[in-house]
Structure 1
Amino acid sequence: MDKHLDVVTFGEPMAMFCANETGPLDEVTAFSKALAGAESNVATGLSRLEHRVGYVTKLGEDSFGSFIMKALNKEGIDTSRITFTGQRRTGMLVKSKVESGDPQVEYFRKGSAASTLSPEELDKAYFASAGHLHVTGISAALSPECQKFSEHAMAFMRAQGKTVSLDPNLRPSLWPDRQTMVDTINSLAARCDWFLPGLAEGKILTGLDTPEEIASYYFKLGVSLVVIKLGPEGAYYRSADGSEGIVKGFKVEKVIDTVGAGDGFATGVVSALLEKLPTQEAVRRGNAIGALAVMSRGDMDGLPTREELARFMNR
């Protein structure tokens, strides 16, 4: 399968335990297990839209690692470059159930198998077999080795003439301090073609206030497309061809779970750009999948097939 991949990504997939009842995590007694992780969300979303996707990571030789491998394979994702280690455990998290707003999330991932991914393990032939690389800022936060792997992979793909997208996915709790997070993400942004921050993330990363100012900041770093998520209002984009604008969001009946919305958005934008759709259409698809994501409970439950996406966008 890895002869011709449309997209390759890497990161840390985790076993997620979602509370079956609302309330504080320490009082919940029943949980359901699912796959979680920003990169695996995007890989799943792209695969459901019929793109050939490869995922690179390291897993522990434990039941969580085995569960994750089966879940990725079930989604049709190429897992031929996933390795297992007996030295480290697979990461996991627990997530509360809420009626509205953001759920409580607790991670158990420090020193995990995925955090030991190092630049020496970059399979150049495998990465070169893909037309595009999708990266999130979470991977670089896991360890110095993972940061180097991220930098190495992005530089390699750019040198091969491939496109690279970056979703900053800011997780302050994973970084030693805010300044390190800002400096590292901005150095990664200088290595990407398509940058996909949320407005709040853009403000943190640049100290600027408006989408237009934030986009200008990243254009100076060499990015060719900046798409900034504006929540329910939609998204702002600015492209190297001079086009820019705001694409309105889709009506959401009821927000059930906000986790995974940004990954759904990235799935929509990246898939459409790979299909050579106009930027405005790509952003519209991102808005649609982001809306579907917040209307479903699990991180991946809202990620649509082509038919489901068309039905939602045309209704």
Structure 2
Amino acid sequence: MAPRRQADIVVVGGISTDFRVQGARLPRPGERVEGYSFQEQLGGKGAHGAVAVARLGARSTLVGRVGMDVRGMALLEQLEEEGVETRAVARDPAESTGVLMEMVDEAGRAQCLSVAGANRRLCVRDVLAAEERITRADVLLAQLGVPLDAVVAAVHIARAAGSHIVLAPRSATSLPEELLEAVHVVCLGGAEAAVLTGLDVGDLDSARQAAENLVRRGAGAAVIAAPQGHLLLGKEGELWLQNLPVDWVDTAGAREAFAAAVSVALGEKRSLADAVRFAHATSALTAMRLGAMSGLPDRDDVEAFVARLEGQALLSPHASW
């Protein structure tokens, strides 16, 4: 077997410290509830995406911004230990590193409060400082959590260089049409799709309508996460992948794993349909594990999982692709 080509991915997105407390139930306003579990870990959708890319065997570079505080330096060290290149992460002397506070009950329901901190100050100048690195990448993965003008600047650089562009916004927000028109594939959950298209995604038909809306407006292809599975729609056709019959433990990192896997597979010069199949399996494996960061799988685990699924014909979808 020929050696696999190593993909080269640049991720643009947010970086934060995540504090997570779990207890039997969530507190009401003004109430104090005793919890039983606490975690402090590397957070931010950009950081999670970059780690997911690295664990899947690709060269991973993160473009983002942290504060010059203890937390920021610790996050950079963690990223580097994961194999993520951090030279394109700006150090902000005036703003603290982003933070997310999350409370989770036994049913998995969560309440979150976040402060963007240095993330909100990522600027076009920071992106231009990483222009050479973006230009050399196979794929630019944009995950937001940072100002849109910085994301648009990175997308324009990647587009001019002929790189693939994967847009995977992890928050329900409107996006400029020029951004949609520049991306090769946009990956959305139901909440994001509703904001961008005005359509509630509840099944295959509504996912198809949302994807058609995005492709009509200029996106090369769209992947929509419906409650029952993932739909890929583009100019070459349609691919529907139903949820795999696995035990779902924690879906916190599944979306980042999906976008990272699409990016890595495209960087390895695989077809978009094959990339989405690979991502579908990767996100399911992630959801079988506890923790947004700790649940992100490495390449060997994913390939073993894919082999089992193919052996059971579980990655043979209804498709016109």
- Smaller-chain TM-score bracket: 0.7 to 0.9
2:118 paired with 1:125: no
Normalization by structure 1: what TM-score? 0.85
Give the deviation of 1:155 after TM superposition. Answer: 1.2
What is the number of residues matched between the two proteins? 291
Partner of residue 199, structure 1? 190
Letter of the 2:80 partner, please give it: N
2:297 paired with 1:312: no
CA contact (8 A) 1:248 1:284 kept: no
Measured against aligned partners, the alpha-carbon deviations of 1:67-124 in whole angstroms (never above 9, x if no partner) come to 1101100110001122222211011112223333442222133xx1221111122222
Fraction of identical pairs, as percent = 27
Partner of residue 152, structure 2? 151
CA contact (8 A) 1:269 1:282 kept: yes
2:235 paired with 1:244: no
Give the deviation of 1:202 after TM superposition. Answer: 1.7
2:296 paired with 1:303: yes
Instruction: Report the CA distance shift for 1:45/1:277 in structure 2 as closer, same or farther (over 3 A).
Output: same
2:59 paired with 1:52: yes
CA contact (8 A) 1:247 1:280 kept: no
2:66 paired with 1:64: no
CA contact (8 A) 2:180 2:214 kept: yes
Q: Any residues of structure 2 matched to 1:65-104 within 5 Å, and which?
A: 65-104=72-111
Partner of residue 119, structure 2? 114
2:219 paired with 1:223: yes
CA contact (8 A) 1:60 1:89 kept: yes
Partner of residue 207, structure 2? 211
Partner of residue 178, structure 1? none
Q: Which of residues 9, 12, 22 in structure 1 aligns to 2:11?
A: 9
Letter of the 2:194 partner, please give it: K
Give the deviation of 1:186 after TM superposition. Answer: 4.5
State the distance in 1 between where 2:105 and 2:305 align: 25
Report the aligned-residue RMSD.
2.2
SS in 2 for 1:80: coil
State the distance in 2 between where 1:229 and 1:185 align: 21
Partner of residue 316, structure 2? none
Partner of residue 269, structure 1? 262
What stretches of structure 2 of length at least 5 have no aligned partner? 1-5, 201-205, 309-321
Give the deviation of 1:295 after TM superposition. Answer: 2.5
What stretches of structure 1 of length at least 5 have no aligned partner? 140-145, 172-180
State the distance in 2 between where 1:190 and 1:267 align: 21
Measured against aligned partners, the alpha-carbon deviations of 1:205-224 in whole angstroms (never above 9, x if no partner) come to 11245222222222223222
Give the deviation of 1:187 after TM superposition. Answer: 4.3
Give the deviation of 1:20 after TM superposition. Answer: 4.9
2:235 paired with 1:234: no
